Amino acid sequence: MQKARTEVLAELSSKTVEQIEQDTKTHSKRALLQKYEINFDKMKMLMQAKVEQIIKKAAYEGRITQYEANTIYSKMSTRPHGQKRKRQRF
C-alpha cells in the first residue's frame, strides 16, 4: 500500500515518485498533503481506486479468493473516514 500511496501523491503533486519517496522520509502524510496543496478527499478517492485494482488483481491471480476480495471491498466501504483498523492481539 505504501507504493500505491506514493504513486497517488506523485500523481496529485506533479512530482516524481522518487521525490515523494524522499519527502516521506522527513514529512508525514498530512504534511505532504499541505506542502503540495493536495485535497485529502481526492487522494482518498484515487487511493480507493488503486486499492480496488490491487485487490482485483490478487483475486484474479488466485492470491486471495473472490469471497475474500468481496469482504475487503465491503470493509472498505463501511469503515468511517479516517478510522484505523483494530489490531487483534493473541
Query: Are the C-beta atoms of 33 and 40 separated by less than 8 Å?
Result: yes
Does some domain include residue 86? no
Does some domain include residue 29? yes
pTM tops 0.75, yes or no: no
Does some domain include residue 28? yes
Share of the chain above pLDDT 70, in %: 87
How many domains is the chain partitioned into structurally?
A: 1
Does some domain include residue 39? yes
Instruction: Give tens-digit pLDDT for 35-73.
Output: 999 999 999 999 999 999 999 999 999 999 999 999 998
9 vs 38: CA distance, rounded Å: 8
Does some domain include residue 87? no
Which residue segment(s) compose the domain that 74 sits in?
Answer: 2-78
Q: Give 1's pLDDT tier (boundaries 50, 70, 90).
A: confident
Does some domain include residue 90? no
